[in-house]
Structure 1
């Protein structure tokens, strides 16, 4: 806890005073403590002018001894603080030996070296290594690591660290040891260690050059049969990276360990990846289609980091998007190549619009490359990751796929083994592609979501297309300069046939106009095809034009977007009417006609059909207003959903019948699409309590051979007042009681129910013996599911929802500040809500502010209370 947290600024960066060439670590694991002996080969950095003291970061440990060149230092030769060890007047070159003691058994922060179930594991990004031993915990200090681990052979038969195992054997007293050498320089945040009694599945991969790579995946005994999909996904990713980028894996083994308590999804430690079980376990009866896709993509993401993050890493944490934005982009392209390209891209777009756009306009809006932070863990944000990936996507669009891939390889060759900056990446792109990215770099420096307005005029066979841009003020950045924005457009005639091939327009000024000739009638414009830039498009198209694009556009994203725009026209008008206590607005006939056309002539990709029939989310509807009224949005969305369900009830019955399971579960594009349409049809029928729907859902639950259909049944029953709902929920809890990730689904489902007693139900579940408050997955499922997925419950008029979340933030902050800060972030954008909802959020923030908080949570709470005028 800190009463005066210190803010760090990018402008204050200074090179490290000393460099470390080699790190030799010796972990002696005992029942009540672990002793760490660290030996560093150190030399003064010739680029640094600092000479008086050398700071090594360290927290929550006991220093035993410190020595230079085997001479133990006297107390006046160093200074020990709560968060650092400072060596006074070190020599030019020396060997530093430090011995310290840590307590992984009682480390509940999930940083450093800690226990997860029966496994001891580590998490060092961003600054967790400073909980293991004293070291300059910064990514620009890179060294070669050798790690020796000794432990009780019966309790910890598996010992793992980065790199290749070069020695192992037995010790006296029933103990054993293993030694690992990592041949590549790396920053300490990529260090990893694991010890435990673990089950394993094993495979191999032969690289393009003929090298055989040993693949091992460890987990707690009994879970091995949930890991086959992850192993197959790893091999897919290895092959894809070789085929696409020519990047061959560079070690003899690749080891993955799945642990139950992990704050992140996974961590790309060199050669030894530590994963949250939620991103590894996938079996047909325990995981949904979405889970299978998540595992595939996260496994690929961490593997891709081997080059874009590990071989070339970031100089400092302000450059985090250097590795994450580029690797997320590579993950996105991999996912598009593995699944339904259009739908995969649509889901990426939805993430931007529903999560990143609100973040970009909220009290904590920050550029892709932040300028300052108090606690780095708070900047593992959707902006750094997903918007960072969209910035890379724009470069790839402008360069072309082949030229971009060649440029990435040039970047990796040029900076192999270095810690570099976003500027270094941009320069490498320019050198290889010939692009001028001078103005484009503003995407890394300016926060906020640009608004791009489209205006057209048609005269004498000529279409004039005008694009203009404006970016609203964000905290700390009131004045914005123009971005370089690629906008892909295409033109269609009145019958929906292509009238002009797609073309990328570069909007670099406040306003620009392009003209297109040779039309007999005014063409329909399809704009921002494929979501070529992370901007909010403002384009008032007619219902007829939107219906035309919805039926005929060749770009899946724009086709889906046209459907979303049609829905939003009705929803926005209805929300506005309800806020003014006026009569609700009914959907126009043209909307129903467009849906009928879609049902009569559906796209071949069934997942695209499901996406186009799915209404805009509450978050997306809220983004259309200056002040969000959760209850008006919920009422309007429910009304439109019911209107569509009543109009097409027979069609939805037919869709459900036609898309019901015929064969055993398989995870592939066709089957996932079929299940998605089936679940959507049930959802619409449940909205109007169609005759027999509860019995049909219960029957589906009883007969399902897979979790996707089982969850479709549960979600259909979720809000019903029907005995079958309680029966299947109780049965689910009994059958899957020993499967934590499946029980997380049970918790999330109940947290998201729109029943009046949802707050009370969450409080009951928090007190349930099956709820583990120290497990991040449990917290995200129950409290995250409630606060993010149940807006009416969270914003309940009596303030009980806000109070519930504030209570749990206070309880959680002492254990896991990262998760507490994430929950506090849900309360922070209170200004974006109507007064009746904002008051409760603000009161909860004030209550948090009055408490003693971690730096993580304090930064979020203060930003929420102090920032003003920003939209979320």
Structure 2
């Protein structure tokens, strides 16, 4: 496998220049063969009159060039590395025809970028720069063209031939050499960049449904899968129907094609891809049945199907001018899929649970990224390999930036801004600035419009802002003064930060837990939903008519992606935990209480306490668990302790083993102290109805699973066999995957002897279900470490007959579960975890640089580690960096990690 030749090139946003040529039409003909696919590419080009005349440089990678014609005649050309350079082209602005004939070897394409074969089926993945592995082209998102695609293949092997747009012609091929072959011709009526091109050819079956849009137009929706998987596609198709309906209702955006297709493959580097009209999905986000998918799987499928469909407008109809603007489509579309999922919730509590889950991802994944060597703004300024910037910063933080816009202009104002955005830019490749300007211009009286340059610092400055809050009650003046101060720590290449514009949703609670009416001396300082706007380094807000000292509830709904610090007492936090009307801050109060106790135990001298939790905290948790009106899903979230990785981020120097020891001690203490309450929770919630979509029953299953885990943990301490036995019985008798897997997880995570028997039985039951086996592998690799037993188990899993390193899902199930999601097992004092990591990064880089680069990031935060971990981690990273034949993907990650 070869990678891009020559020295590493840094691409900078400031160097953007329009293309010297435009491509108006592309006519592609594929003769599909796994060993040697022939691609005939006929393009109509014209010079860009706004750019000085220059040579045409076409991107290519791993292609065999057979012919180049200009206006039907041969022409001279040269190769510059893998770039095809044509200099003798027609002068002037008249269009000309360029024909390029190439071949490629899809069955040898282990990178899964470009055209490749998976289990006998052809697939493509072209974002970000995969189209150059199919044909020579101006592989950049601001070159938008109209595509006609003809696919030709063996009819028996590849009866289904799909591409973007609408099917206009199909049939059997005639003539010598075409026996048993057929063709399909597809025309996409919408101009698109080449990264949205797609083709699929294979032996597939489809579930389909016709829907009629509000305009009266009929559309065919299809979900294609391999033979035998059709019964697991009902939820994906239902999610697609819901997505079509929601986008019309919420944003007035209708499906613009006669058909919309989803195709699932098990070999895919990403979750899914929004190719125009032909979305290609990882099977993980398509296939679901009660027997094989958990409630989390159902929710993820709904979210990802929505996300890719919503890209049809926010990403496809309006696309990125350049890859630095990636969050223009991804941040906006993540926001849209989050809103979609919340709008489908039937209760305010279910909406709150979804919001909390999204914030947990942000805090445990994006906040560390913002504080590490790969920190970058939502709109990066430079990159070596664009694949490394499909990050939680671009996606999740980008979504928070869009959410703040909606907070500042209101839901109706945001819809006005979206309407203006499409009115101005439909069919164009634009920038993040264009989007922000449209939202502001549609709401000229908003704080966003008044301070747009300040707000746009969210796009240009990396790092997570810190907001320090201080409250002061004046009994005589009946006022409460809130002082907010902001700062942002240095990040690579950015030392001094200017103030951000930060919306801070606020409430004040009285002694009975009721929200006080808010009245400010400066009434204009409150925007939509009792939101303050912090745009300076420090500001004061004076609330009047306050007769007694209130308890402040700040950053409600997590109104901005910041770290909030306020010196609230335990009593105040317990008051918020018991009474706050904002569900997010109610949950947050419990998290702060738990974090406070974890940090105290970690930072104490000597061995950490075996019982870090005090009676007040335990009683607060008991009150949540026994609360008569709180939803079960909220209770499960509230009783889940902060993750080890999140706890570690609060420390300047991290001893991973000490963090793990303290958190495990907290879990054991909660299990034992609330034993009777966990029994009650199980008995009250274990009969939870049918599996599948539905927040109420899913919440009951989640709390039941947590209760079983806690009861098994307690039994480990007391040697009492009843609950492990009941858990194993529930595992055997479960009527759905959620209950079965929760019971299995309870046995494994608590280290019960019955876990081995359950794991063996689970494998026997689901040995032919690839996605279920991924769970089986991941559960073992992510289990709590007890005496260093997990790494040997991981190495053993790699030799299992069902483990396949070249399948991204299977590789992630073991390697990422261990290296990225199991810090207590990965960070070993003997450095064996780091040695294992370095071996696997180098091994995978040889055939799939994207997956290797993501694995490489498991040691992003090595500089925070205490010794001996720190030196050992650095040595492992340096060992990888010393490899001379690393891909750009991995080299960029390890080089930045080692930089001072």
Which category describes the TM-score, using the shorter chain as reference length?
over 0.9
The answer for the alignment partner of 1:741 in structure 2 is 771
Q: Alignment partner of 1:675: what SS? A: helix
Q: Alignment partner of 1:447: what SS? A: coil
Q: Alignment partner of 1:448: what SS? A: coil
- Which structure 1 segments of 5+ residues have no match? none
TM-superposed CA distance for 1:584, in Å, is 5.8
1:83 aligns with 2:113: no
Contact 1:607-1:676 within 8 A present in 2 as well: yes
The answer for the alignment partner of 2:437 in structure 1 is 427
The answer for the alignment partner of 2:802 in structure 1 is 770
Contact 1:279-1:294 within 8 A present in 2 as well: yes
The residue correspondences of 1:656-671 to structure 2 (distance < 5 A) are 656-661=682-687, 663-671=689-697
The answer for the alignment partner of 1:503 in structure 2 is 530
Change (3 A) 1:31 1:352: closer
Aligned pair partner of 1:438 in 453, 465, 473: 453
1:806 aligns with 2:838: yes
Q: Distance in 2 between matches of 1:67 and 1:276?
A: 38
Aligned pair partner of 2:676 in 634, 639, 650: 650
Residues 836-845 or 102-111, more deviating: 836-845
Contact 1:54-1:88 within 8 A present in 2 as well: yes
Q: Distance in 2 between matches of 1:776 and 1:265?
A: 11
Q: Distance in 1 between matches of 2:51 and 2:631?
A: 59
Aligned pair partner of 1:630 in 656, 662, 667: 656
The answer for the alignment partner of 1:167 in structure 2 is 169
1:674 aligns with 2:703: no
1:855 aligns with 2:872: no
1:66 aligns with 2:42: no
Q: Distance in 2 between matches of 1:599 and 1:382?
A: 32
1:565 aligns with 2:592: yes
Aligned pair partner of 1:605 in 612, 631, 634: 631
The answer for the alignment partner of 1:24 in structure 2 is 27
The answer for the alignment partner of 2:730 in structure 1 is 700
The answer for the alignment partner of 1:124 in structure 2 is 126
Change (3 A) 1:47 1:796: same
Change (3 A) 1:695 1:299: same
TM-superposed CA distance for 1:583, in Å, is 5.2
TM-superposed CA distance for 1:720, in Å, is 4.8
TM-superposed CA distance for 1:687, in Å, is 2.2
Contact 2:467-2:565 within 8 A present in 1 as well: yes
The answer for the alignment partner of 1:224 in structure 2 is 230
The residue correspondences of 1:780-799 to structure 2 (distance < 5 A) are 780-799=812-831
The answer for the alignment partner of 1:524 in structure 2 is 551
The answer for the alignment partner of 1:33 in structure 2 is 36
The answer for the alignment partner of 1:542 in structure 2 is 569
The residue correspondences of 1:259-274 to structure 2 (distance < 5 A) are 259-274=265-280
The residue correspondences of 1:818-829 to structure 2 (distance < 5 A) are 818-829=850-861
TM-superposed CA distance for 1:498, in Å, is 1.1
Residues 662-671 or 462-471, more deviating: 662-671
The answer for the alignment partner of 2:526 in structure 1 is none
Q: Distance in 2 between matches of 1:772 and 1:542?
A: 52
Residues 447-468 of structure 1, C-alpha deviation per residue, up to 9 Å, x if partnerless? 0000000001111221110000
TM-superposed CA distance for 1:82, in Å, is 3.7
Residues 392-439 of structure 1, C-alpha deviation per residue, up to 9 Å, x if partnerless? 000000000011012112101210100001111111112111123111
TM-superposed CA distance for 1:662, in Å, is 5.1
TM-superposed CA distance for 1:89, in Å, is 3.5
Residues 686-695 or 136-145, more deviating: 686-695
1:135 aligns with 2:137: yes
TM-superposed CA distance for 1:605, in Å, is 1.8
Q: Distance in 2 between matches of 1:641 and 1:762?
A: 24
The answer for the alignment partner of 2:14 in structure 1 is 11
The residue correspondences of 1:748-759 to structure 2 (distance < 5 A) are 748-754=778-784, 755=786, 756-759=788-791
Q: Distance in 1 between matches of 2:278 and 2:308?
A: 10
The residue correspondences of 1:60-459 to structure 2 (distance < 5 A) are 60-73=62-75, 77-91=76-90, 92=92, 93-171=95-173, 172-339=178-345, 340-434=350-444, 435-436=449-450, 437-459=452-474
TM-superposed CA distance for 1:642, in Å, is 1.6
Contact 1:577-1:585 within 8 A present in 2 as well: no
Q: Distance in 2 between matches of 1:135 and 1:599?
A: 59
- Which structure 2 segments of 5+ residues have no match? 519-528
Q: Distance in 1 between matches of 2:598 and 2:831?
A: 26
Contact 2:689-2:697 within 8 A present in 1 as well: no
The answer for the alignment partner of 2:523 in structure 1 is none
The answer for the alignment partner of 1:760 in structure 2 is 792
The residue correspondences of 1:591-602 to structure 2 (distance < 5 A) are 591-602=617-628
The answer for the alignment partner of 1:476 in structure 2 is 493
Contact 1:574-1:584 within 8 A present in 2 as well: no
Q: Alignment partner of 1:628: what SS? A: coil
Q: Distance in 2 between matches of 1:389 and 1:494?
A: 36
Q: Distance in 2 between matches of 1:845 and 1:750?
A: 26
Q: Distance in 2 between matches of 1:551 and 1:411?
A: 43
1:713 aligns with 2:740: no
TM-superposed CA distance for 1:536, in Å, is 0.3
Contact 1:378-1:856 within 8 A present in 2 as well: yes
The answer for the alignment partner of 2:482 in structure 1 is 465
Q: Distance in 2 between matches of 1:14 and 1:552?
A: 56
1:494 aligns with 2:511: yes
Change (3 A) 1:643 1:582: closer
Contact 2:331-2:397 within 8 A present in 1 as well: yes
Q: Could you state the TM-score of these two structures normalised by the residue count of structure 1?
A: 0.97
**Number of residue equivalences:** 862
Contact 1:24-1:40 within 8 A present in 2 as well: yes
TM-superposed CA distance for 1:548, in Å, is 0.9
Q: Distance in 1 between matches of 2:183 and 2:15?
A: 43
Q: Distance in 2 between matches of 1:556 and 1:599?
A: 15
Residues 438-447 or 757-766, more deviating: 757-766
Residues 71-103 of structure 1, C-alpha deviation per residue, up to 9 Å, x if partnerless? 011xxx211234211111422331000000011
The answer for the alignment partner of 2:45 in structure 1 is 42
Residues 691-700 or 589-598, more deviating: 589-598
TM-superposed CA distance for 1:382, in Å, is 0.2
Residues 835-844 or 693-702, more deviating: 835-844
Q: Distance in 2 between matches of 1:747 and 1:131?
A: 33
